Amino acid sequence: MTSFKVKWHRKALKELRALPKGVAKQLVLKAKALHESPMAASFPLAGCDYRKIRAGDYRALLEVMFKEKLVRILLVGHRKKVYKRFFSK
């Protein structure tokens, strides 16, 4: 099995740095699992082709690009706000 490359969007990295240290560490560990199996290490978002990883009350929203073998982490934030921001863009 070939591995996927994981790229963090600039805004997602900024948001990650603002999170509590423990939560940020959990998200980074879960993002590393995306290298080998992005579909098994993430959950689908209802009604669209994007996916998410979870750490407590925080989420990272991502896009899996199979042809490019790439996972793009687009947004990071508290679950109350991250979906509103994502779907309002």
Domain ranges of the chain: 5-87
* CATH topology (fold) of 5-87: YaeB-like fold (3.30.2310)
Mean pLDDT of 55-76: 96
Q: Give the pLDDT confidence score for residue 54 in this predicted structure.
A: 96
d(CA 66, CA 63): 10
Q: Is the pLDDT assigned to residue 89 strictly greater than 90?
A: no
Q: Give the pLDDT confidence score for residue 7 in this predicted structure.
A: 97
> How do residues 17-40 score in pLDDT, each as one tens digit?
999 999 999 999 999 999 999 999
Question: Which distant-in-sequence residues (6+ apart) come within 8 Å of 31 by Cβ?
Answer: 6, 8, 53, 60, 73
Between 45 and 2, name the one with better pLDDT. 45
Cβ 62 vs Cβ 72: under 8 Å:
yes
d(CA 4, CA 70): 5
Q: Is 9 in a helix, a strand, or coil?
A: coil
Give φ, ψ of 6 to 5 degrees: -110, 120
Q: Is the pTM of this model over 0.85?
A: yes
> How do residues 34-48 score in pLDDT, each as one tens digit?
999 999 999 999 889
